[in-house]
Amino acid sequence: MFWNFVATVFAGLGAAGVALGIRAITANKAPRWLIPVFGGAGMLAYMAYMEYTWFDLKQSQLPEDAVVVAAEKESVIWRPWSLVVPQVSRFTVLDTSSIVPDEQNPNVYSFYLYRFEKSYTDSVEEQVYLLNCAEHQLVPVSEEGKAQVESLRKLADDDRLLGAVCTS
């Protein structure tokens, strides 16, 4: 967070420096208000760049056996560029090395899902799930190791999670 702030400030200073160069080239005939406008535009451009590249950066940091199974795009009014092109703000990753078939039912698999969320500070949540491949049912597992059947979800036939777990 701190380094993003520092980089944003320097992007603004660099853009303001470009405006100063324009004023110098035009023998100070370019308007003075160009300097803060360029500075603000530089900071906004850097912020937009960082938000749009966050997902790719996080994906590049994942291990080889991690598979992105869901990505959520978001548009918010205080980021006007996201109204034009929504940005990925959350995504879910399957740890394929954690997939373990159930001993009693070969159609049921246990695995870890990690949910990444972009906010002021990036957050990661880890959760164990059970997936019944025959019924397409996904159930979270509590910390005590019990299936939370009240949170059961039925997955669509074309769900990436279903394909990644059941074909392994």
Q: Which residues contact 106 (CB under 8 A, 6 or more apart)?
A: none
Q: Report the predicted TM-score, pTM, of the whole model to 2 decimal places.
A: 0.82
The chain-wide mean pLDDT, for the chain, equals 92
Q: Give the Cα separation of 50 and 142 in Å (integer).
A: 35
Q: What percent of the chain has pLDDT over 70?
A: 99
Q: For tokens 């979800």, what's the residue?
A: 153
Q: Give the Cα separation of 150 and 137 in Å (integer).
A: 12
- pLDDT for position 139: 93
pLDDT tens column, 72-117: 999 989 888 889 999 999 999 999 999 999 888 888 999 999 999 9
Q: HEC profile for the chain?
A: CHHHHHHHHHHHHHHHHHHHHHHHHCCCCCCCCHHHHHHHHHHHHHHHHHHHHHHHHHHHCCCCCEEEEEEEEECCCCCHHHHHCCEEEEEEEEEEEEEEECCCCCCEEEEEEEEEECCCCCEEEEEEEEEECCCCEEEEECCCCCECHHHCEECCCCCHHHHHHHCC
Q: What is the dihedral of CA 14, 18, 21, 27, to 10 degrees?
A: -130
Determine the average pLDDT of the residues in 125-130.
93
**pLDDT band for position 25 (50/70/90)?**
very high
- pLDDT for position 10: 97
**pLDDT band for position 168 (50/70/90)?**
low
Sorted by where each begins, the domain ranges of the chain are 2-59, 65-166
- pLDDT for position 105: 86
Pair of tokens at residue 22? 């324009």
